[in-house]
A and B are shown apart, each in its own frame.
Chain A
Amino acid sequence: MVSETVGGTQSRLELAKQHSTPQWWTKALRQIAFYLVLLLIWHKLATSNLWSPGTFAGPLDVWSTLVERFQDGTLIIAIAVSLRRLAIGYAISLVLGIILGLLTGLNRYFDETVGSLVLGFQALPSVCWTPFALLWFGLSEQAMIFVVVMGALFSIILGVDAGIKNTPPVYIQAARNMGARGIALATQVILPAALPNIIVGLKQGWSFAWRSLMAAELLYITLSLGGLLENGRDFVDASLMFAIMLVIIVLGVLINSIIFGPLERVVRQRWGLQK
């Protein structure tokens, strides 16, 4: 009886082991299978003649467009142009956002006034700024960057603000006790203490900036990701549109998982918010 029970436990333990170790690759297998099925359905749909020519493209067409556009350089240039706009717009939002976030987080009067305005603007989709951008800046680079800034800025301000308001007071007390004042207190204690929340704001700001840029690039035709998308519509080239959408998805996922994912993990771990 006894030995049987022991045997039973052992085999159950082994089962548990088998379940836990290869988990990551069974998950990967399931995902690969899912996407293969998806590609197959996509291909079947594309060859079913349900759409008129040019309004739908199968995975093979999209792939060949991608290869072609990469080889002739247009896609590389388009990506570079779009990322440059994103970088400029995001950098401006970052500087303004941190300054304004510090002010709303630290000053009650600023918080009551500008803080409430920021909340209002955060509720406004940044695409709503495109008509104004055109009026103020014309068909220009600045117009697009302006829309990107409007997309990212308010999320960043709110992230910094929330970070400051959620800082454990004990850090500030300890720092003041050790002689930290003014700018040193703000940059060496308050900002780093707020970092976990700031990163949440930065991440959200980035995704809004990315969305805003794509909308802004539809304003007028330039060689950019949004421009190529618009191009695809003008020439009724569905495979180009699908290809660009794919690139936009991949870039978005990449930036998230290369920059923001690891950044968030490191900070959350170091700040003791996560093991």
Chain B
Amino acid sequence: MGQQIMTTSQHFEHRGGDIQVLPASDVALHVKDVSKTFISKGRIVEALRPVDLEVAAGEFVCFLGPSGCGKSTLLSIIAGLQEPTTGKVWANGKQVKGPGTDRILLFQEAALFPWLDVQHNVEFGLRQAGIKARERAIIARKFIETVHLKGFECSYVHQLSGGMRQRAAIARALAIDPAILLMDEPFGALDAFTRDRLHTELESIWAETQKTILFVTHNVREAVALGDRVVVFAPRPGRIVHEFHIDLPRPRSLEDHNLVDLSAEILHVLRSEMVANEEEEEENNGK
């Protein structure tokens, strides 16, 4: 089965055009042999089978897969909020040994602090870094403008819509100036219109700031619309099954037929992988 994965992923790498061997300094993230298993109700659960992954600086990588496939677990391990069972992660040349401000995680629920207004939420990371109040205010204002929330500096979280909350969360992350943004289904709870607008905005922020972005989603078209590369995960046990390089021109439109075709193809591969897995499971159970 391993062989099969290799060949298919190579096939798609060719599709994408170029296979790059990156010099070490351009590698933002190096994941080696990382796995996660835990014990639940007396049974060993493989949340994530050993994964190797390299992400170039400035690359936009989407982790795609259904729930329970380990994509969020991997993101959380990269963020340093969970420890891997095996393996190591290097981010920006240093081994990950806990959370750090070079990798900021964004959550589906935005996780803004409701006791602070937008301005002070965005200033939070800067305050932890010991930056003076006046300077904090200037930096925060700049990023509040970047995410088009000017005029909402004094608003509290309960006064913001879901899309505005995500924008504020993005501003809060950008203010810290991390090399890597880790986004865990950040737009998953938004309506389609808001999500489309935020895709466009995220894309332009990414182009402007040159951040490395790891973006977790279960929405195939979202992954194809945003990613330079789509890493496909399958569940039970959680594992990477394929990688697709996406070389469609940017900015991308969700209606573009190339994008739709590619999405269908990815979905097809994911489905057949899951069906094959289920058949295998049934066979194993039969024995």
Q: CA of A174 to CA of B108 in the docked complex: distance in angstroms?
A: 12
* B107 → chain A closest CB, angstroms: 6
Q: How many residues of B contact A (CB 8 A)?
A: 25
A178 near B125 (CB under 8 angstroms)? Answer: yes
B115 near A178 (CB under 8 angstroms)? Answer: no
Q: Is B74 interfacial (CB-CB < 8 Å)?
A: no
* A171 → chain B closest CB, angstroms: 6
A272 contact set on B, CB distance < 8 A? 114, 157-158
Instruction: Across the interface, name the chain B residue whose C-beta is closest to A181.
Output: B128
Q: How many residues of A contact B (CB 8 A)?
A: 22
Instruction: Across the interface, name the chain A residue whose C-beta is closest to B114.
Output: A271
Q: Is B231 interfacial (CB-CB < 8 Å)?
A: no
Q: Which of B152-186 contact A (CB under 8 A)?
A: 156-158, 172, 176
A184-202 interface bits toward B, Cβ cutoff 8 Å, 1 = contact, 0 = none? 1000110011010000000
Q: Is B16 interfacial (CB-CB < 8 Å)?
A: no
Q: Is B21 interfacial (CB-CB < 8 Å)?
A: no
Q: CA of A168 to CA of B157 in the docked complex: distance in angstroms?
A: 15
Q: Is B206 interfacial (CB-CB < 8 Å)?
A: no
Q: Is B58 interfacial (CB-CB < 8 Å)?
A: no
* Known contacts A269-B158, A272-B158; is-contact A177 B99 (Cβ 8 Å): yes
A178 contact set on B, CB distance < 8 A? 101, 104, 124-125, 128, 172, 176
A173 near B111 (CB under 8 angstroms)? Answer: yes
B101 contact set on A, CB distance < 8 A? 177-179
Q: Which listed residue, A176, A189, A192, touches B81 by the CB 8 Å rule? A: A176
B104 contact set on A, CB distance < 8 A? 177-178
B103 contact set on A, CB distance < 8 A? 177
Q: Is A170 interfacial (CB-CB < 8 Å)?
A: yes
Q: Is B44 interfacial (CB-CB < 8 Å)?
A: no
B81 near A179 (CB under 8 angstroms)? Answer: no
B125 near A179 (CB under 8 angstroms)? Answer: yes
Q: Is A180 interfacial (CB-CB < 8 Å)?
A: yes
* Known contacts A178-B125, A270-B156; is-contact A195 B115 (Cβ 8 Å): yes
Q: Which listed residue, A170, A180, A184, touches B111 by the CB 8 Å rule? A: A170
Q: Which of A253-275 contact B (CB under 8 A)?
A: 269-272
Instruction: Across the interface, name the chain A residue whose C-beta is closest to B124.
Output: A178
* A172 → chain B closest CB, angstroms: 10
Instruction: Across the interface, name the chain B residue whose C-beta is closest to A272.
Output: B158
Q: CA of A180 to CA of B129 in the docked complex: distance in angstroms?
A: 9
* B181 → chain A closest CB, angstroms: 11
Q: CA of A192 to CA of B121 in the docked complex: distance in angstroms?
A: 13
B115 near A271 (CB under 8 angstroms)? Answer: yes
Q: CA of A14 to CA of B80 in the docked complex: distance in angstroms?
A: 61
Q: Is A175 interfacial (CB-CB < 8 Å)?
A: yes
B128 contact set on A, CB distance < 8 A? 178-181, 184
Knowing that A177-B104, A178-B125 are A-B contacts, what are 19 other residue pairs whose CB atoms are under 8 Å apart, sorted by A's residue number? A170-B107, A171-B111, A173-B105, A173-B107, A174-B105, A175-B113, A177-B80, A177-B101, A177-B103, A178-B124, A178-B176, A179-B101, A188-B124, A189-B113, A192-B113, A195-B115, A269-B158, A270-B115, A270-B156
Instruction: Please give the residue numbers on chain B whose beta carbons come within 8 Å of chain A beta carbons, in ascending order.
Output: 79-81, 99-101, 103-105, 107, 109, 111, 113-115, 124-125, 127-129, 156-158, 172, 176
